[in-house]
Amino acid sequence: MPTETTPLPGLVDSHCHLDFPQLIDDLPGVLSRARAAGVERMVTICTRLRQEPNVRAIAESNPGVLYAAGTHPMSATEEPLATVEQLVSLARHPLMVGIGETGLDYHYTPDSAPIQQTSLRVHIEAAQETGLPLIIHARDADEDMARILSEGYLVRPYGCVMHCFSSGEALAQTALDLGFYLSVSGIAAFPKSGELRDIFRHAPLDRILVETDSPYLAPPPHRGKRNEPAYVAHTARAVAHLWDLTPEDFAMATAANFDRLFQKAAKARAAA
């Protein structure tokens, strides 16, 4: 009988931060535990472009680790504004598979909304130019987020994942209508996240990814502690029933979705 420690082969942690101090200082152990849990691939996210060389080096040194790069909205006023040309140049690396994370955060940094919006539009254009999916952080900015994503898509379609989705039903529907993906994090496993689980329950299975956002937002039974990629298995087990799936089938379905959105990652795996 499967247990909470039985591996879920094929799992993909579509969003983590391996370069953050909480993880990089224990990286061999973090990666070993992820493999033991069944996590075969993970995307480590660069949130400040000046740190891109360090994030890239992690991917280059560890099989199964891919990366994405962008300017986090909460850092938009602290970092030089990224250019489309800069992001396009970085995206030529074979292991860089996404643009971001970028987005809007009006919860912690509402005063920087104008520069956040400018930065978001730069990242959208880079996603359009490269064909790589956009990785979106959204908090307390649903209306502006839906508007800017939709305006950009009308100019030129692009792929996108709403990372660690915890926004409202209207933004979820806008994203799904545009063909985007919603990513499930440990938040969906929290006892009081019933409304969020309902949003996911009504979303098509083929638009769902799963992630940790580690070192943050650890799912039960590790809530309140450091998160790490291995714990994506706990989230998978906690939410698979929303689509009437076993955790094993959910792992395989979300891995297939990941390959459909992150096509460069799929090609890298096929070439390995």
Which residues participate in the annotated binding site for a divalent metal cation?
15, 17, 101, 137, 163, 213
Looking at residue 243, the DSSP 8-state letter turns out to be G
Annotated binding residues, written as ranges, equal: 15, 17, 101, 137, 163, 213
Q: Using CA atoms, how far apart are residues 260 and 25, in angstroms rounded to an integer?
A: 32
Alpha-carbon 102 to chain mean position: 11
- Sign of the dihedral defined by the CA atoms of residues 225, 228, 232, 233, in that order: negative
Q: Using CA atoms, how far apart are residues 55 and 72, in angstroms rounded to an integer?
A: 14
Secondary structure class of 69 (helix, strand, coil) = strand
Check: CB of residue 259 under 8 Å from CB of residue 159. no
User: Of 96, 145, 94, which is closest to residue 124 (Cα–Cα)?
Assistant: 145
φ/ψ of 46, rounded to 5, equals: -90, 125
Residue by residue, DSSP assigns 70-118 as ---GGGTTTSPPP-HHHHHHHTTSTTEEEEEEEEEETTT-GGGHHHHHH
Looking at residue 202, the DSSP 8-state letter turns out to be T
